[in-house]
Amino acid sequence: VISKTMASMFVTRVITRVPKVPILMPCRFSRRRLPPEYRKQYLEKISNGALDKYRKSDFVPYPALKTQRLWEVQPQEPEKETKRLYQELVPHFIDPRYRDRLRERLERHEMMLRRRNLDMPEFYVGSVVAVRTADKFAPNQSHRFLGICIERFNEGLWTKFTLRNVIEKTAVEIQYELYNPTIQSIEVLLLEKRLDRNLLYLRDAPLDESRFPFDMSRIPYNPSDPVPINDKKVKLLPPPWAFKWYLHGYRGIHDTMYDYLTPQQLSEIQDKINLVDRYDLMKMYRSRLCLEEERIALRDVQIQHQDLIRHHEQRRQELMDKHKETQRTDKNTAYGGR
C-alpha cells in the first residue's frame, strides 16, 4: 500500500519533469484587439488652434439667442400657475454635481403621461386628502383612506406623501407614491397650508389634532384665490417625545412647549444656532435651484401641459361623439320597434 506522502512526492516529480507549454490566448483577447484607451493610443479630437478660436468666439448655447450674448440675457420669471400646479416636476434641493438633465426630462415626460389617466389636484402639507387605491383583497377591489397630509418629500417620479388619521383611538399613517399606478383617485377635501414644511410633530400631539371623519364633505374653494394658510399653534403632549422637534425650528408648535425643555436640550438648541453651515455659501448654492434652470424646466413643463390639455379635449370630444352615436342608435331602435 502506497502512503499519501509517497504519492504526493511522485506526482510532484512528474510535474517538474513536464516541459512548460506556452499558453495561447484567443484572438479576441490579444493586444491588437483591445480598444485604443487600453493601448495608450489617444487620437486628437480637436486641434489647439481650433480650440483657441472657439474660446475667443461668442458662445451662444441656444439658436434663439443669436442677437444677444448669454450674459446679456436676463432670465424671465417662471409662470406662477405652472409652478403651482406642477411643483414636483421642478427639480429642487439637489446638488448640481449629481443632477442628470436628460433623466429629469424623461421623468417629466413619464409624469405627464401618467396625468392623462389620473387627475392630480393641488395640495400641500396640512391639506385634507382622500386617496383611493386598487386593492384586490378589499371588498370592492379598492381601498379609500382619508387624512391630513403631514409630509411631502422627494421630487419628480419618486414624490411621496403621507396621510395621517385616527381610527378607533389609534393613529394610522399611510405613505403613498404620487405616481403609483395603483392610485385610482386623489380628492382634496380641504385645501390649506401650514406654517411648517412637515407636520411630523403631530405624532407627539393629542389624537384630536389628527382626527378627521371619513364621511367629510368637500369644502369648495376658488382656484384663482391664493391658498389659505392655517396659522394654528399645536400643543404637544408632555415628554418623552418621538423626536427632537425643538431642533427643527417649527413655527406651528405652541410657545409654551419650550417650558418642558431641560438645560441639556436648551444647550443643543444653542449649538444648533451656532453652526457654521448657515455661513457656507457653496452649500447654499448647491441646495438651491437657480432661476435659469427653473425656467428651462418650466418651459418644458408648459409645452407638455399644452399637450395634456389637448389630450383631455380630444378625449372629451370622443366621449361626446360616442354618447351622441349611442343616443342616435337608441332612437333608431325605438322607431324600428314601433
| Segment 212-262, tens digit of pLDDT | 999 999 998 888 888 999 999 999 999 999 889 998 889 999 999 999 999
Same domain, 300 and 184: no
pLDDT number for residue 55:
55
Does residue 130 fall inside a structural domain? yes
Is residue 68 very low, low, confident or very high in pLDDT (cuts 50, 70, 90)?
very low
Distance CA 315, CA 109 (A): 19
| Grid coordinates belonging to 333 | 331602435
Does residue 314 fall inside a structural domain? no
Same domain, 223 and 261: yes
pLDDT of residue 338 exceeding 70, the answer is no
| Grid coordinates belonging to 25 | 490566448
Distance CA 281, CA 289 (A): 14
CATH code at position 231 = 2.30.30
> Alpha helix (H) ranges present in 274-290?
281-286
Distance CA 156, CA 92 (A): 10
Residue type for position 274 = N
Does residue 51 fall inside a structural domain? no
pLDDT number for residue 119:
87
Same domain, 106 and 132: no
Does residue 186 fall inside a structural domain? yes
**Sign of the C-alpha dihedral, residues 173, 178, 183, 184?**
positive
Same domain, 112 and 134: no
Same domain, 275 and 296: no
Same domain, 193 and 60: no
| Grid coordinates belonging to 153 | 418629500
Does residue 274 fall inside a structural domain? yes
Same domain, 92 and 218: no
Nearest to 146 by CA among 162, 128, 169: 128
b/e string for 87-105 if b means 16 or more Cβ within 10 A? Answer: ebbbbeebeeeeeeeeebe
Does residue 245 fall inside a structural domain? yes
pLDDT of residue 46 exceeding 80, the answer is no
Looking at every residue in the chain, the average pLDDT score rounds to 78
- The whole domain housing 85 covers 56-121+291-306
Same domain, 116 and 143: no
Same domain, 238 and 295: no
In the chain, the number of structural domains is 2
**Sign of the C-alpha dihedral, residues 149, 83, 108, 153?**
negative
Q: Mean pLDDT, to the nearest integer, of 276-294? A: 73
Does residue 46 fall inside a structural domain? no
pLDDT number for residue 96:
63
**Sign of the C-alpha dihedral, residues 185, 186, 188, 189?**
positive
Same domain, 91 and 239: no
Same domain, 202 and 295: no
Does residue 319 fall inside a structural domain? no
Same domain, 139 and 112: no
